[in-house]
Structure 1
Amino acid sequence: MRKAAFLVLALLLPAAAGAAPDAAPRQSSPEVRALLEKVDRLYRSSRSWARIEMEVVTPDWRRTLTMDFWTEGLDKTFIRVKAPARDAGAATLRKGAEMWNYFPKINKVMKVPPSMMMGSWMGSDFTNDDLVKESTLMDDYYGEFFSPEKPDPALHYLRLRPAAGTVSLWAAIELVIRKSDLLPLREDYYDEKGRLQRYMEFSDIAPLGGRTMPRVMRMVPLSKAGHSTTIRYLDAGFDGALPADTFTLRNLQRAAVK
């Protein structure tokens, strides 16, 4: 799941982080834009499939979901839950700016309004937008390189701010990217007061589906002590053929879990 797909998703002060929005350039440089495009497409391709495991942890309970994730480009995503049995068949479809959820227990499809894109997906610490990538770092944010207090010369540091017209919970997003292979290691998300609200760590970098990529993503919301959500990629394939009806409402409502 990439754009899991799932994807997928951002992933997460120095004093400058709380600066006014015009502290960063209004347009990313070609080098910054190329890095953001690589991050956006990390778990996606012209077409992709993945099997992932999502573990949601709270102080009171722990829950693990297994799901399949399909994408086409950056604007189509389909997710179907396979396990546990009580959630099997639940599905999410995103096409362009529209998103729908299917709930098999009540056999109902519900369209997700734009106001709910930042809401929790399946009770996790990832938002609907994180998982289906209605927004992209490349097109919806602008940014520049910055240097933290103790920089690692092997890493790139990027600070992003929302582009004009972008509706975002985050006033700034900071990315840490490995120079050797341009893979992300961490994303930090800040509110309008420059306070770190959540972060996402990327780990277990290894071959997957013919690519080398982080196979584990862990999202931690700092406003909820003891909460975290970890996504693990179990298998993946890129640029293969997908059924013609993958990204359709008809597929969304199929009772059989494939």
Structure 2
Amino acid sequence: MRTIGLITLSLAMSAPLVSADQERAIALLTQMDQLYQQDSAQARMSMHIVTPDFERTLTMDSWSLGLDYALVRVLEPVRDRGVSTLKRDDEMWNFLPRVNRTVRVSPSMMMGSWMGSDFTNDDLMRETSWVDEYEVRLEEQGDLYVLHLIPREQTVTVWGAMEITLRQSDLLPVSQRYFDESGALMRVMEFSDIRDFGGVTLPATMTLRPVNKPGQITRITYEALSFDVDLDESFFSLQNLRRVP
């Protein structure tokens, strides 16, 4: 009876610690979910694409309202001006001004390359929250937190797992690693160039490197970023998608 009592006491004492770790993991993942969107956001970005065959830079404007609404519009180069992507809830469209055509992005196209970059449609316009789609486990490594993400059974994704590393000091992301279903590392995204955007401190640059494509990278840099801008759902319309600057 004494042994049973000690085991029961030990379990009772350890249960809150496990629960607290899980709550902490979910809280950190929620923060990553909303890092560059928050309630509403407007940004000016540059995307630099490097491959063994070509190198080019795009300038873009973007607007977002939570995780459900987003619009990205290319400003430069001139030949791509007006190319835009719109997300409303779980639907997405691309507008191609040179042929004056609006194309709905099907679920099968979500992992396709966006504008020839290493970023996919899903990277720029994630359909769902990571908190909803992944089981998460928190690990501490020195002065870093590592979030281990495993997709839930119903989650549709090509990734077998992800790892997000954050600094414990300010909870800013350091890197994000993507693995296939066999556990092989497929690509790495690194966060750098920490700046203050109107009182919000964030990494301004994200560099994505596909492991299986040597010499190829895509780098996105936020040149300007504002939060709590005056936006509502009506802004994210098909009519606004087709508006060429």
User: TM over 0.5: same fold?
Assistant: yes
1:191-228 Cα offsets, whole Å, 9 max, x none, are 11110000100001120132000000001111111111
**Residue of structure 2 equivalent to 1:237:** 226
Taking structure 2 as the reference length, the TM-score comes to 0.89
1:96-175 equivalence runs, <5 A: 96-146=89-139, 151=141, 153-175=142-164
Match of 1:54 in 2: 47
Distance 1:61 1:230 in 2: 14
How many Å apart are 1:243 and its aligned residue?
6.7
How many pairs does the alignment contain?
Answer: 226
Higher helix share: 2
Shift of 1:155: 0.5
Give the equivalent residue in structure 2 for 1:19: none
Q: Quick one: which amino acid aligns to residue 95 of structure 2?
A: Y
Counterpart in 2 of 1:79? Answer: 72
CA distance in 2, matches of 1:214, 1:145: 22
Q: Which runs of 4+ in 1 moved over 6 A?
A: none
**2-structure distance, mates of 1:129, 1:122:** 13
* 3-state SS in 2 of match to 1:118: coil
C-alpha distance in 2 between matches for 1:74 and 1:119? 20
In the alignment, the residues of structure 1 paired with residue 23 and residue 233 of structure 2 have an alpha-carbon distance, to the nearest angstrom, of 35
2:122 & 2:31 partners in 1: Cα distance?
18
Q: Quick check: 2:67–2:128 contact (8 Å CA) kept in 1? A: no
Contact 1:245–1:251, Cα closer than 8 Å, also in 2:
no
Question: Would you say the 8 A contact 1:129–1:135 is kept in 2?
Answer: no
Structure 1, unaligned runs of 5 or more: 1-24
2:190 corresponds to: 201
Contact 2:145-2:165 at 8 Å conserved across structures: yes
Determine the C-alpha separation between the residues in 2 that align with 1:240 and 1:145: 33
Structure number with greater CO (CA < 8 Å, separation at least 6) is 1
Tell me if structure 2 keeps the 8 A contact 1:208–1:215. Answer: no
Q: Is the 8 A contact 2:179 2:187 kept in 1?
A: yes
* Residue number in structure 1 paired with 2:242: 253
Retained in 2: the 8 A contact 1:71–1:77? yes
RMSD: 1.5
Report which of the two structures shows the higher radius of gyration computed on alpha carbons: 2
Report the TM-score, using the length of structure 1 for normalisation: 0.84
Aligned with 1:38: secondary structure?
helix
User: Helix, strand or coil: the match of 2:191?
Assistant: strand
Provide structure 2 residue ranges, at least 5 long, that are not aligned to the other structure.
1-17
1:226 match: 215
